[in-house]
């Protein structure tokens, strides 16, 4: 199976977008080789701006470019994009609803060896809390391509969360991505897993395992965390009666929180959140860390069994 | 600094370079370039200047060191191992799951690490805070920090610079590892931070320019910093990124790539020395 990182897919799509739309400009902060904006920089040097190691200014300049009619894609690691420059994103991008696309790479613990200082486990939470902000967490290269294109077409600020690690492509080329739409990838009536990013493939794996035990589990790709597709989420939850969220992110404020918020108001059912349990990451190889923190197909399956039991035991 | 001390430091520096190569080859990831460029600076601090005790890493009156360019963790870990804060064998666990040697310095995990760093620009602010505490407590410990030249592009560095001179922190001495390179290329091409000496001067710092691989010059600058009253000192150290390993020297590509086994063997052969 071909494996490709979502950051790589982002870099490739940016180049194509650059050809199609002269208004697209790209900014980086001394990480263009890692974020893959270097491909765009090479092709369109006059439309690429390196801010140097200065993330606050990266976001401020992007806001200015957008205010003057450009469509800036601003890239750096997720920790710095959403953490270091949070208030610039808030007050210069989200508040004036400027057309900036914050495309952040190296999200989550699959950053691996660089360790906890570089592993953002809170970026979705931060970005989701901002009014006007759209938040997308693509699961693979196919979805990244479509999400980046949708972000370019959308008027307003978008946060796109990308990863460092090479991942299998799990979605078909003709996968239909729509901003704000959750997609049911697998039907199931016993329980449902809402997942995105790296956890989507693991959720599908878990559903396979659970089916062998007779627990039919739906899997829903919730790549747009905001605006959340509340209608689909509530409908699936109503049918399944027991749900699990799965994300490579803190369970506080991310996908799990978004789903819980939607369900508690619309359709409360037994729920568990799989994610980082209010902890920072650490150095290690990516899959070892995923194992250590329970971000595995087995971890999802165990959570499904628990919610399924809660549902059937009333 | 007398000749015997220079010779001792040269030996330590060679050992530290060997450790850097060995640990990076073992971890298969990490940052050789900016670790190697800072070996003379860090070895002079740990083996000539700083009042520290490996048996008591949290001693309240100790001198402090903040590696503001935290990605150069290997040079710090090499100094700490050589000084006896932990066994040398531990270096080979660098960046592995469960290791106390994280990819970037972690003060909660590693004995001898005074501040967690890795996000550029933040270490120097913490160093300013430590120096402020020293003044407040009327202690005479000194605070040292090491910055990258690319790191000086962060606005926060200049906020810290302003605060340090505002509070007359003559107990704070910083080094600038002026190796001319960052990740995306030469600093002057990516986002020109020069002229650096004039900028630090304008922010109220005493500035000394030296060759960052010359122990005598490093020591001389530290002595001058110790005598300077009423303001912090910035020692701008001209260095070679990747210093000591021919194929890494001045190569931007060796910023954040670990040597493979073959490259490590070549590097170790070039460095010579080594305790058998
Ligand atoms: C705030 C922040 N932005 C980006 C990075 C990623 N990064 C790590 S090292 C580096 C380049 C550092 O260059 P320099 O300060 O010159 O260090 P040196 O050449 O001494 O290695 C960058 C951009 C980071 N660690 N922190
Ligand atoms: Mg440099």
Chain A hits for B102, CB-CB cut-off 8 Å, are: 115-117, 282-283
Q: Do residue A147 and residue A199 come from a single domain?
A: no
Task: Please give the C-alpha separations between residue B5 and each of A185, B39, B44, B76, B234, in angstroms, as whole numbers.
Answer: 69, 16, 10, 20, 24
Asked whether the predicted pLDDT for residue B276 surpasses 70, the reply is: no
Cross-chain CB nearest to A113 (options B95, B116, B190): B95
Q: Do residue A134 and residue A57 come from a single domain?
A: yes
Q: Is residue B186 part of a domain?
A: yes
Q: Is residue B21 part of a domain?
A: yes
Q: What is the Cα–Cα distance from A126 to B145, expressed in whole angstroms? A: 31
Chain A hits for B154, CB-CB cut-off 8 Å, are: 53-54
b/e code B95-122 from CB counts within 10 Å (16+ = b): bbeebbbbbbbbeebbebbbbbbbbbbb
pLDDT in tens, B85-105: 999 999 999 999 999 999 999
Which sign, positive or negative, has the C-alpha torsion B82, B83, B85, B87? positive
Is the CB of residue B73 below 6 angstroms from any atom belonging to ligand 1?
no
Q: Do residue A43 and residue A146 come from a single domain?
A: yes
Q: Do residue A160 and residue A17 come from a single domain?
A: yes
Count up the domains in chain A and report the number. Answer: 2
Q: Which residues contact B229 (CB under 8 A, 6 or more apart)?
A: B170
Burial of residue A55 (number of CB atoms within 10 Å: 0-12, 13-18, 19+): buried
Q: What does the pLDDT read at residue A175?
A: 97
pLDDT in tens, A203-256: 999 999 999 999 999 999 999 999 999 999 999 999 999 999 999 999 999 999
Q: Is the peptide bond before B124 cis (omega within 30 degrees of 0)?
A: no
Q: What is the Cα–Cα distance from A55 to A309, expressed in whole angstroms? A: 47
Active site residue A46: no
Q: Do residue A268 and residue A147 come from a single domain?
A: no
CATH of the domain at A187: 3.40.50.920
Q: What does the pLDDT read at residue B274?
A: 80
Closest chain B C-alpha to A90 CA, distance in angstroms:
18
Q: Do residue A121 and residue A219 come from a single domain?
A: no
Q: What does the pLDDT read at residue B273?
A: 86
Burial of residue B211 (number of CB atoms within 10 Å: 0-12, 13-18, 19+): middle
What is the domain range of residue A233?
183-313
Q: Is residue A177 part of a domain?
A: no
**pLDDT, chain B, mean:** 98
Count up the domains in chain B and report the number. Answer: 1
Inter-chain residue contact A114 with B118, CB threshold 8 Å:
yes
Q: Do residue A124 and residue A260 come from a single domain?
A: no
Inter-chain residue contact B104 with A114, CB threshold 8 Å:
yes
Q: Do residue A202 and residue A309 come from a single domain?
A: yes
Q: Is residue A188 part of a domain?
A: yes
Q: What does the pLDDT read at residue B275?
A: 63
Residue nearest to atom 21 of ligand 1 (CA): B34
Domain endpoint, select from A168, A196, A231:
A168
Cross-chain CB nearest to A283 (options B96, B190, B193): B96
Asked whether the predicted pLDDT for residue B145 surpasses 50, the reply is: yes
Strand partners, A102: A74, A159
Q: What does the pLDDT read at residue A245?
A: 99
Inter-chain residue contact B104 with A54, CB threshold 8 Å:
no
Inter-chain residue contact B155 with A56, CB threshold 8 Å:
yes
Q: What is the Cα–Cα distance from A301 to B16, expressed in whole angstroms? A: 47
Q: Is residue B13 part of a domain?
A: yes
What is the domain range of residue B101?
3-271
Q: Of A19, A20, A46, A55, which is the active-site residue?
A: A55
CATH of the domain at A142: 3.40.50.970
Question: What is chain A's alpha carbon radius of gyration, rounded to the nearest angstrom?
Answer: 19
CATH of the domain at B266: 3.40.50.970
Inter-chain residue contact A284 with B30, CB threshold 8 Å:
no
Q: Is residue A23 part of a domain?
A: yes
Q: Which residues contact A24 (CB under 8 A, 6 or more apart)?
A: A14, A17, A18, A47, A70, A71, A72, A73, A152
Q: Do residue A213 and residue A291 come from a single domain?
A: yes
Domain endpoint, select from A168, A203, A223:
A168
Residue B5, SS3? Answer: helix
Cross-chain CB nearest to A115 (options B103, B120, B182): B103
Q: How far apart are the first and last CA of chain A?
A: 42
Q: Is residue A16 part of a domain?
A: yes
Chain A hits for B103, CB-CB cut-off 8 Å, are: 113-115, 117-118, 283
Closest chain B C-alpha to A150 CA, distance in angstroms:
29
pLDDT in tens, B62-90: 999 999 999 999 999 999 999 999 999 99
Q: Do residue A89 and residue A222 come from a single domain?
A: no
Q: What percent of chain B has pLDDT over 90?
A: 99
Q: Is residue A228 part of a domain?
A: yes
Q: How far is the CA of B179 from the centre of ligand 2 (A)?
A: 5
Burial of residue A64 (number of CB atoms within 10 Å: 0-12, 13-18, 19+): middle
* Strand A191-195 versus strand A217-221 pairing type: parallel
Q: Is residue B276 part of a domain?
A: no
Q: Do residue A158 and residue A302 come from a single domain?
A: no
Question: Residue A263: how many CB atoms within 10 A of its CB?
Answer: 21
Q: Do residue A192 and residue A84 come from a single domain?
A: no
Low-confidence ranges of chain A (pLDDT < 50): none
């Amino acid at each position: 199976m071909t494996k490709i990182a979502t950051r790589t897919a982002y870099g490739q799509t940016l180049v194509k977008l650059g050809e199609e739309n002269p208004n697209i400009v790209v900014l980086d902060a001394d990480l263009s080789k890692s974020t893959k904006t270097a491909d765009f920089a090479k092709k369109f040097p006059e439309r690429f701006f390196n801010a140097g190691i200065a993330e606050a200014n990266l976001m401020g300049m992007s806001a200015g470019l957008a205010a003057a009619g450009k469509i800036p894609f601003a890239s750096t690691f997720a920790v710095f994009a959403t953490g270091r420059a949070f208030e610039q994103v808030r007050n210069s991008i989200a508040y004036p609803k400027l057309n900036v696309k914050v495309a952040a790479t190296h999200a989550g613990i699959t950053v691996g060896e660089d360790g906890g200082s570089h592993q953002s486990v809170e970026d979705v939470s931060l970005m989701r809390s901002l009014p006007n902000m759209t938040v997308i967490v693509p699961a693979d290269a196919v979805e990244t391509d479509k999400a980046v294109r949708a972000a370019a077409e959308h008027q307003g600020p978008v946060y796109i969360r990308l990863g460092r690690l090479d991942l299998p492509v799990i979605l078909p080329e003709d996968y239909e991505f729509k901003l704000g739409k959750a997609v049911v990838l697998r039907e199931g009536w016993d329980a449902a897993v809402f997942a995105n990013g790296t956890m989507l493939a693991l959720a599908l794996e878990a559903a396979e395992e659970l089916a062998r035990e007779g627990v039919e589990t739906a899997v829903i790709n919730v790549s747009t965390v905001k605006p959340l597709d509340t209608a689909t989420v509530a409908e699936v939850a109503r049918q399944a009666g027991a749900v699990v969220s799965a994300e490579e992110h803190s369970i506080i404020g991310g996908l799990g929180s978004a789903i819980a918020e939607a369900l508690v108001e619309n359709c409360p059912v037994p729920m568990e959140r799989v994610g980082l349990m209010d902890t920072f990451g650490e150095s290690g190889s990516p899959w070892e860390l995923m194992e250590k923190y329970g971000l595995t197909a087995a971890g999802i399956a165990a959570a499904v069994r628990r919610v399924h039991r809660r549902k059937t035991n009333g | 600094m007398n000749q015997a001390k220079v010779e001792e430091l040269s030996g330590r520096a060679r050992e530290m370079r060997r450790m850097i190569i060995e640990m990076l080859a073992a971890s298969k990831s990490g940052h050789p370039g900016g670790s190697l460029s800072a070996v003379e600076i860090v070895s002079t601090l740990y083996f000539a200047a700083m009042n520290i005790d490996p048996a008591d890493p949290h001693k309240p009156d100790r001198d402090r060191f903040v590696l503001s360019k935290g990605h150069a963790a290997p040079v710090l870990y090499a100094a700490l191992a050589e000084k006896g804060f932990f066994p040398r064998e531990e270096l080979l666990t660098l960046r592995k799951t469960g290791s106390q040697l994280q990819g970037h310095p972690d003060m909660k995990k590693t004995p001898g690490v005074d501040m967690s760093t890795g996000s550029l620009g933040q270490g120097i602010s913490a160093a300013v805070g430590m120096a402020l505490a020293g003044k407040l407590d009327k202690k005479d410990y000194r605070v040292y920090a090491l910055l990258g030249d690319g790191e000086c592009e962060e606005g926060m560095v200049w906020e810290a610079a302003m605060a340090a001179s505002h509070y007359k922190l003559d107990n704070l001495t910083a080094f600038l590892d002026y190796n001319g390179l960052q990740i995306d290329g030469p600093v002057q091409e990516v986002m020109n931070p020069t002229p650096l000496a004039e900028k630090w001067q304008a922010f109220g710092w005493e500035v000394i320019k030296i060759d960052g691989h010359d122990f005598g010059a490093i020591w001389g600058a530290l002595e001058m910093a110790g005598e300077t009253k009423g303001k912090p000192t910035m020692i701008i150290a001209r260095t070679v990124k990747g210093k000591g390993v021919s194929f890494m020297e001045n190569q931007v590509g060796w910023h954040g790539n670990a040597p493979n086994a073959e490259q490590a063997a070549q590097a170790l052969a070039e460095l010579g020395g080594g305790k058998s």
